[in-house]
Amino acid sequence: MKNKITLRFGVLAGIVGLATVARVAVPPLLGHPSNFAPIGALALFSGCYFSGRLQKFLVPLLAVWFGDILVNMLYTGKLMLFYPGFYWQYGCYVLFVLMGMLLSKRVKPLNIAGMSLASSLIFFLVSNFGCWIGYTMYPHTLAGLSACYVAGIPFFGGTIAGDLFYSALMFGAFELAQRRYTVLSLQEAA
- Stated as kind and residue range, the H or E segment containing 169 is helix 142-180
| 3-class SS of residue 175 | helix
Measuring CA to CA, which residue among 81, 128, 118 is closest to residue 137? 128
> Which long-range CB contacts under 8 A does 10-14 form with residues at least 24 apart?
11/174, 11/177, 11/184, 12/45, 12/46, 12/49, 12/50, 12/59, 12/174, 13/59
DSSP state of 34: T
What does each of the 190 residues of the chain score in pLDDT, given as a tens digit? 667 778 888 889 888 888 888 887 776 666 666 888 889 999 999 999 998 899 999 999 999 999 889 888 888 888 889 888 889 999 999 999 999 999 998 999 999 999 999 999 999 999 999 999 988 789 999 999 999 999 999 999 999 999 999 999 999 999 999 988 888 887 544 4
Domain residue ranges of the chain, discontinuous segments joined by +:
2-189
> Which long-range CB contacts under 8 A does 138-143 form with residues at least 24 apart?
none
